[in-house]
Structure 1
Amino acid sequence: MDRFEAMSILVAAVEAGSLTGAGRRLNMPLPTVSRKLAELEEHLGTRLLTRTTRKLTLTDAGNDYFHSCKCILEEVGDAERKAAGEQSAPKGELVLTAPIVFGRLHVLPVVSAFLSIYPDINVRMPLSDRNVHLLEDDIDLAVRIGPQPDSSMVAKRVGSVRRVVCGSPGCFERHGVPASPADLKRLPCVTFDMMALPNAWAFGKSPNARDLSVEIRPRLCVNTAEAAVDAAIAGIGVTRVLSYQAARAVKEGSLQVVLQDFEPTPLPVYILHQGQGELPFKMRSFLDFAAPRLRERLEEIALS
């Protein structure tokens, strides 16, 4: 049995979603695909795939083996290119995830520029505010905001974002500009339910060196930061969002940032990947390309 070939067939079958799709991708008859996978399972002494008429599912052992095969095949491809002195651009599919709004506003433009330079790379970019599991969800890289507790990941910091309180000029004309977090108790507020404590906002060190947590009066509670920003622009109340979420409205003058001296420590922004061995060429290429550009974008949107 050619184990390298068998690994390639397994990866093709999983990525294509069927043995038939793997056969098309590899230009190999379906019976050959099925036979070689069966030989691989027999060699390993375990079942890798659960096959039904509708879909192909990896077993637990198959999931671990599949990801190892992908890494091995990518490393072999890189080694062959280096040995041949190949100077061509990286190839293959890159899977990248990011928070929904940050991904649309800032990661997508960087990815678009990357694709224009590297025509042999395709990118799949599922956006989610949920911290997906890179290994289980077959993700190569993740852009994440906030402290990262998973020490198994390699994190490249590209900047930070602030948590800002902002409101419309009209709102501050009616209710006054807050001089301290305690003043928020008398202002109508707009919250969204993704916040840990929608009815209380925590701030940084106060002048007397104590942390501040202020109960607020939600006039409106929505489920996205974009809706909270729109409501604040409409004058319903002040809101608290991440700086990039309000950057455009602040730049246009429809929102005004207040209480800057009381802001909590900015949240770090990272590009994460699994910390196992040398990175595939496509991932190294994206990191080298994207990190300085994301850093520059974060510096540009920093609010004063």
Structure 2
Amino acid sequence: MQRHHDMQIFQALCERHSLMSVASHLGVSVATVTRAIDRLEARLNQQLLLRSTRGVSLTDAGIAYLADCSRILQEVADSEASAQGLHQQARGNLSLFAPRLFNSYILPPILAGYLEQCPLVKVFMRLHDRSPGMLEEGIDVALVIGELPGSSLIARPVGHVHTITCASPAYLAAQGTPQVPADLKTHSLIASQGQREWLQWSFQHQGQTLNIKARPRLACATLQGAINIACSGAGLVQSLNYPLFDHLQSGQLCRVLQPYEPAPLPVHLVYREGHKASMRVRSFVDYALPRLRAHPALLTTQPS
């Protein structure tokens, strides 16, 4: 029982970063908080926290322990809720991992609808452009583009994303439409997201990868900035299709070099435990899956 209480104090301290704040929040003394952390560190034989005048921060061991600690505490809470007959309604904290641009262009209305349907669930978003370590990082559900992070996970297919190249109708009318990837070397190219002196765009022909390396005419710090400038007629931009989808539908941008596009990348909704997953996880998967599959930007076959 004391171990469970110590873990709760540790989790609260990781969230608030202040001994005094946690003590006030939990209604205990600062000495009680300190003793709880000391017991955990002694039991694990690891330093979990670094203390300074500015508060506390996690060590590497503390980061790893926090993921396990959060998962265990949530499982205990789920078990108690089930025993009390509360498991029929989703509740608790849901850790959701998604690519950054997914959160900008596709997820917001789905999240808003889910939170309205499940008011007792709190969603914590983690936005990264990498594959997550779901168990190590305490992640409940992840949206993964491309290679899946582990074979032990449950992966539900959502659709596909495509790497496409496009420009405005005005630009193509003035400068001509590239017919093969090599033609891009005579065009104005717009780089984004850190590409400065050189950019490299990928294409595919007869199963072979074609990489075009060129100096951009213009470099933007963000993809959205590059898209906006392309819509204004400054040049060509390459991106995954979903940030470009609305611009293509409205006619602001036109797709070029479609026969040379790389193979589409699969998108999966990934989670752990399968049918044993908590109600909050199953409720999110059940809500999000059909809505993601219906999104036109994720269809396997894309309009020209």
TM-score relative to the length of structure 1: 0.83
Equivalent pairs, count: 302
- SS across alignment from 1:103: helix
**Which residue number in structure 2 is paired with residue 65 of structure 1?**
65
Shift of 1:94: 2.6
Shift of 1:284: 3.2
1:173 aligned to 2:176?
no
Cα distance change, pair 275–18 in 1 and its aligned pair in 2 (3 A): farther
Q: Mark the runs of 5 or more structure 2 residues left unpaired by the alignment.
A: none
Shift of 1:256: 0.8
- What's the % identity of the aligned pairs? 36
Q: Give CA deviations for 1:23-69 in whole Å, capped at 9, x if unaligned.
A: 33333333323333333433444433333332222333333333222
**Which residue number in structure 2 is paired with residue 228 of structure 1?**
226
Q: Give CA deviations for 1:145-176 in whole Å, capped at 9, x if unaligned.
A: 33346667665432211111111111121222
**Which residue number in structure 2 is paired with residue 286 of structure 1?**
284
Q: Which amino acid counterpart does residue 35 of structure 2 have in structure 1?
A: R
Q: Mark the runs of 5 or more structure 1 residues left unpaired by the alignment.
A: none
Q: How far apart, in 1, do the equivalents of 2:124 and 2:151 lie?
A: 25
Q: Give CA deviations for 1:101-120 in whole Å, capped at 9, x if unaligned.
A: 32122112211111111111
Work out whether residues 187 and 217 of structure 1, in 8 Å CA contact, stay in contact via their aligned partners in 2.
no
RMSD of Structure 2 on Structure 1 (CA)? 3.3
Work out whether residues 193 and 223 of structure 2, in 8 Å CA contact, stay in contact via their aligned partners in 1.
no
- SS across alignment from 1:188: coil
Q: How far apart, in 1, do the equivalents of 2:44 and 2:223 lie?
A: 49
Shift of 1:16: 2.4
Q: Give CA deviations for 1:94-149 in whole Å, capped at 9, x if unaligned.
A: 33343333212211221111111111122233444466766776654443433346
1:1-304 maps to which residues of 2 (within 5 A)? Answer: 2-129=2-129, 139-148=139-148, 155-194=155-194, 198-206=198-206, 210-216=208-214, 218-272=216-270, 279-299=277-297, 302-304=302-304
Q: Which amino acid counterpart does residue 189 of structure 1 have in structure 2?
A: L
Q: How far apart, in 2, do the equivalents of 1:101 and 1:16 lie?
A: 29
Q: How far apart, in 1, do the equivalents of 2:67 and 2:197 lie?
A: 38
Cα distance change, pair 229–107 in 1 and its aligned pair in 2 (3 A): same
